[in-house]
């Protein structure tokens, strides 16, 4: 499986490099952009510095501690406008040309055609109906990658003022309330709160792909087919996880365990991260 994953990443990188060769000269002198309103593909998008640390994840019990290294994370999720620019430069990721191995029939199914957004979609709304393969290719083409589950959860446990707000009842209630709101994926990016690290929209807009989204399987089909904490099979049992306030996070893990890499879901988007062990906060 690891060999297959490596091969797919290499293929995505090669295809991206080839498609972008003609754009190198015009992109190299492009100005930096610091707002989510006009970020063409190929221009460095705003990223926030995240100082790494240790945390106890939902799965694995109270004794499991995960180390997350310093990284840069996109301040905003990838928008319709961002992804439109990407497919214009990378033909193989257009809806009419993408292979079924890499995306199901829902891939960009609301777009009018390969390069035309629907009239009901805002350019500055998060792109959705995008498969893991397409999201991974987009990040690779920018010299970035998708966050791991642990990296995403580490950053997402922060509210406006606290790096770890998981024990704050109001914060968890905010997340649970969002789960009940319809069509939040139609909202514009950058309209939720700015968290401790300067990142927007981790909660309140769309679900987001991670590189290892199905590394913790919560199928519920059999207690013998899962390698993680068996108490994570149902909502009531999830209260036995590392913290009683982690029910909001449990729902995310359950969702991740229900999707496959070629799925394109209407409320599932993504953002990119970049490794930066020695970087300082911009």
> Do β-strands 47-50 and 273-275 pair in parallel, antiparallel, or remain unpaired?
unpaired
pLDDT tens digit string along 82-108?
999 999 999 999 999 999 999 999 999
Question: Does pTM top 0.85 for this prediction?
Answer: no
The average pLDDT across 67-71 equals: 96
The average pLDDT across 147-174 equals: 94
**Which pLDDT score, from 0 to 100, does residue 58 have?**
80
**Which pLDDT score, from 0 to 100, does residue 214 have?**
81
The pLDDT confidence band at residue 150, using thresholds 50, 70 and 90, is very high
Question: Is residue 262's pLDDT more than 50?
Answer: yes
Question: Is residue 32's pLDDT more than 70?
Answer: no
Mean per-residue pLDDT of the chain: 78
pLDDT tens digit string along 267-280?
999 999 999 865 45
Least reliable range by pLDDT among 42-46, 147-151, 262-266: 42-46
């Amino acid at each position: 499986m690891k060999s297959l994953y490596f091969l797919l990443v290499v293929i995505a990188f090669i295809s991206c490099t080839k498609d972008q060769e003609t754009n190198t000269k015009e992109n190299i002198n492009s100005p930096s952009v610091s707002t989510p309103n006009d970020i063409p593909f190929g221009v460095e998008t705003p990223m926030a510095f995240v100082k790494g640390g240790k945390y106890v994840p939902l799965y694995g019990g109270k004794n499991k501690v995960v180390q997350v290294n310093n990284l840069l994370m996109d301040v905003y999720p990838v928008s319709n406008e961002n992804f439109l620019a990407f497919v214009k430069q990378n033909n193989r990721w257009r809806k009419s040309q993408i292979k079924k191995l890499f995306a199901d029939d829902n891939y960009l199914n609301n777009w009018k055609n390969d390069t035309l957004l629907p009239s009901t979609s805002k350019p500055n709304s998060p792109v959705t109906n995008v498969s893991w393969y397409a999201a991974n290719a987009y990040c690779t083409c920018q010299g970035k990658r998708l966050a791991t589950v642990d990296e995403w959860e580490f950053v997402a446990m922060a509210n406006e003022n606290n790096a770890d707000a998981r024990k704050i009842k109001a914060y968890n209630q905010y997340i649970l309330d969002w789960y009940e709101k319809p069509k939040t994926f139609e909202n514009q990016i950058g309209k939720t709160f700015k968290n401790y690290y300067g990142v927007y929209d981790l909660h309140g807009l769309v679900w987001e792909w991670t590189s290892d989204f199905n590394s913790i399987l919560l199928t519920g089909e059999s207690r013998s087919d899962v390698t993680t904490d068996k108490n994570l099979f149902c909502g009531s049992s999830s209260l036995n996880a590392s913290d009683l306030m982690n029910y909001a996070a449990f729902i995310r893990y359950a969702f991740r365990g229900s999707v496959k890499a070629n799925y394109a879901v209407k409320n599932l988007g993504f953002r990119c991260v970049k490794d930066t062990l020695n970087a300082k906060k911009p």
